[in-house]
Structure 1
C-alpha cells in the first residue's frame, strides 16, 4: 500500500510551494491556517505559516474565551504571513510576490529540506 502525500504542491518557474493541508478539515479552496514550504531555484527552502485575517480573528476570540495567550490579547508567529482570503490560490499569489520581491528571506524561516 502506497504512502499518501500530505502536501498540495504548486510548481512555478520561480518556486515550488508545498502546503501541508489537514486532510480531515482543509480543502484547497477553504484552508485558512496552513504550514507551507517554499523551495527556490537557488536550492534555498523557506517555511511559512499562513493565516487568513478571519482565522486570526477566530483564534483571538477563542483564546479570549479560554484564557489562552493572555485572554487573546495578542497573536504572533515567527514565520507568519497573513492573507486576506482563504485558499491555496490566494496563498500562492502572496508567495509569488514574496519570491519576486525577495522578501521571502525576511518573512520565511530558512530550513534544510530533508528530501
Structure 2
C-alpha cells in the first residue's frame, strides 16, 4: 500500500508552498490550522503556522475548559499567521502577499539549510 503524501503543494512563479494537512480530518476547503513551508527562488525556506480567527477562538475556549495556557487567557506563537477563513486558497492568498511584500522574512521562521 503506497504512502499518502500529507502535503498539499502549491507552485507559483515566486514560491512553492507545502501545507501539511492532517489526512484524517483536513480537506483543502476546511483546513483551519496547518503548518506550512514556503520555498523561495533564492533558496530560502520559511516555516509558518497558519490558523483562522475561528480556530484561535476554538483553542482559547478549549484551553479555558482544560486550564491550559493560563485558562486560555492568551494565544501566542513565533511563526503565526492568522487568516480570516479556512481553506488552502485563503492561506495561499496570504502567503502570496507575504512573499510579494517581503514580509515572509518577518512572519516566518527561516529553516536551516541542510548541513
TM-score (norm 1): 0.96
**C-alpha separation between the residues in 2 aligned to 1:112 and 1:11?**
21
How far did residue 113 of structure 1 move? 6.0
Q: CA RMSD in A?
A: 1.1
CA gap of 1:113–1:54, structure 2 versus 1, over 3 A, is farther
Q: Which residue of 2 aligns with 1:42?
A: 42
Task: Note the alpha carbon deviations across 1:10-44, whole angstroms, 9 max, x for none.
Answer: 00000000000000000000000000000000000
Aligned length: 114
How far did residue 74 of structure 1 move? 0.1
SS of the residue aligned with 1:54?
Answer: helix
SS of the residue aligned with 1:4?
Answer: coil
**C-alpha separation between the residues in 2 aligned to 1:81 and 1:41?**
21
Q: Which residue of 2 aligns with 1:97?
A: 97
SS of the residue aligned with 2:106?
Answer: helix
TM-score (norm 2): 0.96
Q: Which residue of 1 aligns with 2:28?
A: 28
Gaps of 5+ in 1: none
**C-alpha separation between the residues in 1 aligned to 2:14 and 2:105?**
14
Gaps of 5+ in 2: none
